[in-house]
Amino acid sequence: MSQIVIIGAGQAGAQAVASLRSEGFTGSIVMVGDEAFVPYQRPPLSKAYLMGTFARERLFLKPEHAYAEAGCELILNASAKAIDRAAKTVTSSDGREFSYDQLLIATGTRIRPIKCAGAELKGIHYLRSIADVDALQPEIVKGRKLAVIGGGFIGLEVAAVAAKHGLEVTVFEALERVMARAVSKTVSDFFEGAHRAAGVTIVTNTGVEGFDGEDAVTAVRAGGKSYPADVVLVGIGVLPNVEIAAEAGIECKNGIVVDKNARTSDPNVYAAGDCTWHEGRDGNWLRLESVQNAIDQAKIAAAAIAGKPRDYNEVPWFWSDQFDLKLQIAGLTRPDDVQVVRGDPVARKFAVFHLRDGAVAAVEAVNMAPEYLVGRKLIAEGTKVSAERLGDMSVAIKNVV
């Protein structure tokens, strides 16, 4: 009987187990994860879970018994250490060895540590796992000063939660605007305004030089000034966990290189999720950090393993919750896209459509779910649209085409 080994018990790993079975794979499955928990969803960690309005049990994608019922041996608290591609085995930190016929690497990413003076002081936190939230949550106390390093999605989501809890929050962003790599200037400007209106201080164009404090952090040094801080959250990005693949001689770039079937440079080894470097719909290669990509690529890998390969051609999508604002993004923007704003940022309800060659290439919607859904569909279909009709609120979004 053939055996699949999955390294990494996260979003992609859990999806692969379900999809292998739904694609008809009848062999055995072993999934090795280095965390203490069964696979869980990370998005709520910086949103409702940190806020305290989302119970821990809801984080778990499935209860533990579901893996056994699916014929998957789930091994937790164990890190896969090495892949021997000639012998087709994986060894783990607990001294075990697993044979595979086909292997799926779904190791995700790890936080990018900040490198500056004082980076090891107490009170400096990161946010990637349940354990990280458990460490941060007791520090979210009314009246304390929180410094957030990095104005990306995670930094801003934590800033919003902390502001709601009555902390004095300052966000430091090295670039000229928040979320600059992911959203248009219109959306960045809008979110900066929303944070400022909620009492958050946003300091852009300012890199952090170091942290002060004896044992615990007391201040952030940035832009030649000192900002008092009781607690710090660093959200400056992640690094793909490619080492186990690279050391086994599998091709890696800014991620494990996979083809349209999620297959690596070794035909018996697949990879899915945040750890992969893959070709997007527009022919550009990229690494995506999103639930959508983890789920869809895991489905593609499972289909190929089960002998039913199909190409990965999904429209990327993503979301972020900050205060009462739901940002939903589909597609990938380019600086030279024609932008059409629909709705009104002042009313906290608008969408920015990005047109390329007359078709919608991306949409960013704030509190406008129908615009997001229609936009996503238009991107998938590549339908040409009139910019004028898109921007005209008297034309219902469903009638734009």
- Nearer Cβ to ligand FAD, position 108 or 343? 108
Q: Residue 303: how many CA atoms within 13 Å on its side-chain side?
A: 14
Q: How far is the CB of 220 from ligand FAD (least distance, A)?
A: 21
Report the DSSP beta bridge partners of residue 287. Answer: none
In the complex, minimum distance from the CB of residue 33 to ligand FAD, in angstroms, rounded to a whole number: 5
Q: How far is the CB of 28 from ligand FAD (least distance, A)?
A: 18
Asked if 32 contacts 5 with a C-beta cutoff of 8 angstroms, the reply is yes
SS3 384: strand
Name the E strands within 235-324.
238-240, 252-253, 255-257, 269-271, 276-279, 285-286, 317-322
* Interacting residues toward ligand FAD by CB under 6 A: 7-13, 32-35, 42-43, 45-46, 79-80, 106-108, 127-128, 154, 241, 244, 273-275, 289-292, 294, 318-320
Q: Where are the alpha helices (DSSP H) in 87-204?
A: 130-136, 153-164, 185-197
Q: What is the CA angle 191-197-200, rounded to 5?
A: 80
The torsion of the CA quartet 364, 375, 15, 47, rounded to 10 degrees, works out to 30
CB of 132 to ligand FAD, least distance (A): 8
Q: Which residue is nearest to ligand FAD (CB)?
A: 10
Q: Which is nearer to ligand FAD, 10 or 150 (CB)?
A: 10
Nearest distance in Å: CB 156, ligand FAD: 11
Between residues 36 and 87, which has the closer beta carbon with respect to ligand FAD?
36
Residue closer to ligand FAD (CB basis): 125 or 145: 125
Task: Give the residue with the Cβ less far from ligand FAD, 236 or 390.
Answer: 236
Residue 57 or 214 with smaller CB distance to ligand FAD: 57
Measure the N-to-C terminal CA separation of the chain; round to a whole number of Å.
Answer: 52
Q: Is 181 exposed, middle or buried (0-12, 13-18, 19+ CB in 10 A)?
A: exposed
Nearest approach, Cβ of 390 to ligand FAD (angstroms)?
Answer: 25
